[in-house]
Structure 1
Amino acid sequence: MSADEDKYPAESGRRRFVKGVVGGSALAAVGAAGSAGINSATASPGSGGGTTQAMAIENTAGPAPRGMPQIPIEIDDNGDLKGVWPEVEEIEQGGRTIEVARTQMGGMEYSSEWFQYCGVESYEGIVPSYDSDNYFVSGEEPAYDWQAEAVSGGEPLNISMFEDYEEWGNGIGQSGLGKPATGTWRSQDTDNVIPIQVVRSPIIEEIANGNTDAPQPIVDWVNASTDQGFIAWLNKCTHFCCVPGYKQEESSAKFNAENSVYCACHQSVYDPYSIVQTLFVARPRPD
């Protein structure tokens, strides 16, 4: 497809979703010996790390090497949004016992190692057994005017704040694709804040319900990892660890990113409506 070709025709009113799944073939390309070497090199002296497959919002342009990892989401009985944290267990690695947080979800293995990059591996909130209620809470300076008016810093994001998600717009790009919010996760009483971005979108609902041309493994994953159209991800650019934004920069239009997540630092672009499986080397958590 040429750079000038519109892969999301305006007349469709919705994006198309053709997803590539980086799975067994990619791991095979690494090779058994190479994979073992990578794991050995990254497992000590820290905990965890090594070759990791994560579900991510796709990187579609710019220097970022891969997408940003998705955070599975659930909504409690009060309508508050929570990030799902994997189950914690102890395993033997490199001749010692370490904690890991991982669980099976939607046909995939979801692991805390998804978030072990850009220094986040050193944050207290990424320690598997860190005690957190896992709610997504608004920061003190949210990126959107509507959010600053609706919720105070430190308060949880609630589904009631997103009722106009099918019409919402802020003058950047196309309205009605989804309503976003910024916040933090697993960061109470910590020195380091884990930034997250949430979007409630009818497009995510369509994928979760199978109304898409995405492969079935992607549909199964999105169905399990999203809730009522909400999708969330760790908002750390995989290039130089900047904090990107969805519909936050008017200048994003210069890079055809007005309907995407745009990193103004180095023009990396991510599509929050294209979920892919990505392979990378997670950094070990420091002891």
Structure 2
Amino acid sequence: MSADDKYPEESGRRRFVKGVVGGSALAGVGALGTVTVNSATASPGSGGGTTQAWAIENTGGPAPRGMPQIPLEIDSEGYIKGVWPSVETVAQGGRQVQVAEMDLGGTTYSSEWFQYCGVEGYAGIQPDYESENYFRSGSNPAYDWQSQRKEGGDRFHVDDFSDYEEWGNGIGTAGVGKPATGRWRSEDAEDVIPIQLMRSSQIEEAAQDNEWLQASTDEGFIAWLNKCTHFCCVPGYKQTEDAARFGDPNNVYCQCHQSTYDPFSLVQTLFVARPRPD
């Protein structure tokens, strides 16, 4: 199997942007292996269980799968916000529990996408947590442009990324995409949900003929929950030259254990979401 054919046809992994659309069902050794790895993390609580999610692809290192994408939209004033699923009460495991779930771009989008690495215990992941859902700048941004332009807690606006087709910081290729670091659904909460936001012409182009990307991205913006699926560290896009040693300098790189992720390749992953603590 060549490097260009990383996933055999029978694995059912689906890739967009750089990848080729494969089967519609996740079945194969890779997907089942992920379930096995995560099944030991289950604990009593609400929600959780076998979950299929869109994620930026894990391309190397010990991480078992990609980091989940956060669907987003731009409001009438140009501010960027994450889409939170509709909240409803359902029967699950013989109990009535609240879930945040909706159909989006031909996919069932659920808050369970983000229930791993302890995030399932964060206030912002509770289905009924009150939030405006805007992506906000963190207090210690990873990029000079962000430090110069944004204060901690400021919302991100499309104008912040107006130079996305030229931006570069000396790492990897300039003009590939302009990133930002921040938080989501974390105002007045003890725990911060870390996110990475990026605008790229590659995402913009891919969304033209893809149902999921049309529904989950906007004007080339894409976002993901920035928690490595290995040991829950916080990776970075174009934050260190070391990314080139372990793959591609234009990839997201986790310095803790050298896992890498491709933000331009969206795949469906299958894993066991951890229940939210009662």
TM-score where L is the length of structure 1? 0.86
Residues 30 and 56 (structure 1), Cα distance of their counterparts in 2 relative to 1, 3 Å cut: closer
Q: 2: distance between equivalents of 1:230 and 1:224?
A: 12
Q: Give deviations 1:234-283, integer Å, cap 9, x for gaps.
A: 00000000000000011211112310000011110000000010000000
Determine if contact 1:59/1:67 at 8 Å carries over to the other structure.
yes
The residue that corresponds to 2:13 in the other structure is none
The residue that corresponds to 2:96 in the other structure is 97
Residues 16 and 102 (structure 1), Cα distance of their counterparts in 2 relative to 1, 3 Å cut: closer
The residue that corresponds to 1:216 in the other structure is none
Q: 2: distance between equivalents of 1:111 and 1:254?
A: 35
The residue that corresponds to 2:188 in the other structure is 189
Determine if contact 1:108/1:221 at 8 Å carries over to the other structure.
yes
Residues 278 and 22 (structure 1), Cα distance of their counterparts in 2 relative to 1, 3 Å cut: farther
The residue that corresponds to 1:233 in the other structure is 224
Determine if contact 2:100/2:110 at 8 Å carries over to the other structure.
yes
How many matched pairs?
Answer: 264
The residue that corresponds to 2:142 in the other structure is 143
Q: Give deviations 1:104-147, integer Å, cap 9, x for gaps.
A: 00000000000000000000000000000000000100000000
The residue that corresponds to 2:160 in the other structure is 161
Q: Does 1:281 align with 2:276?
A: no
The residue that corresponds to 1:270 in the other structure is 261
Residues 16 and 284 (structure 1), Cα distance of their counterparts in 2 relative to 1, 3 Å cut: closer
Residues 29 and 16 (structure 1), Cα distance of their counterparts in 2 relative to 1, 3 Å cut: closer
Task: Give structure 2 stretches of 5+ with no counterpart.
Answer: 7-15
Q: Does 1:70 align with 2:69?
A: yes
Task: Give structure 1 stretches of 5+ with no counterpart.
Answer: 8-14, 211-218
Q: 1: distance between equivalents of 2:270 and 2:108?
A: 13
Determine if contact 2:26/2:270 at 8 Å carries over to the other structure.
no
The residue that corresponds to 2:9 in the other structure is none
Offset of residue 20 of structure 1: 5.5
Residues 122 and 160 (structure 1), Cα distance of their counterparts in 2 relative to 1, 3 Å cut: same
Q: 2: distance between equivalents of 1:96 and 1:17?
A: 42
Offset of residue 154 of structure 1: 0.5
The residue that corresponds to 1:79 in the other structure is 78
Aligned-residue sequence identity (percent) comes to 63
Q: Give deviations 1:55-86, integer Å, cap 9, x for gaps.
A: 00000111100000000010111111100000
Code of the aligned partner of 2:198: V
Code of the aligned partner of 2:234: V
Q: 1: distance between equivalents of 2:30 and 2:60?
A: 24
Q: Give deviations 1:9-49, integer Å, cap 9, x for gaps.
A: xxxxxx97224657434299999xx99xx7xx94x630000
1:24 alignment partner, SS class: coil
The residue that corresponds to 1:26 in the other structure is 27
The residue that corresponds to 1:261 in the other structure is 252
2:27 alignment partner, SS class: helix
Q: 1: distance between equivalents of 2:101 and 2:29?
A: 22
Q: Where do 1:21-60 residues align within 5 Å?
A: 23-26=24-27, 42=42, 45-60=44-59
2:109 alignment partner, SS class: strand
Q: 1: distance between equivalents of 2:200 and 2:148?
A: 21
Code of the aligned partner of 1:91: V
Q: 2: distance between equivalents of 1:23 and 1:279?
A: 12
Code of the aligned partner of 1:132: S
Q: 1: distance between equivalents of 2:58 and 2:31?
A: 21
Determine if contact 2:71/2:216 at 8 Å carries over to the other structure.
yes
Determine if contact 2:60/2:247 at 8 Å carries over to the other structure.
no
- Root mean square deviation, CA, Å: 2.5
Q: 1: distance between equivalents of 2:276 and 2:195?
A: 20
Code of the aligned partner of 1:26: A
Q: 2: distance between equivalents of 1:256 and 1:204?
A: 20
Q: 1: distance between equivalents of 2:208 and 2:132?
A: 28
Q: 1: distance between equivalents of 2:262 and 2:28?
A: 24
Determine if contact 1:19/1:274 at 8 Å carries over to the other structure.
no
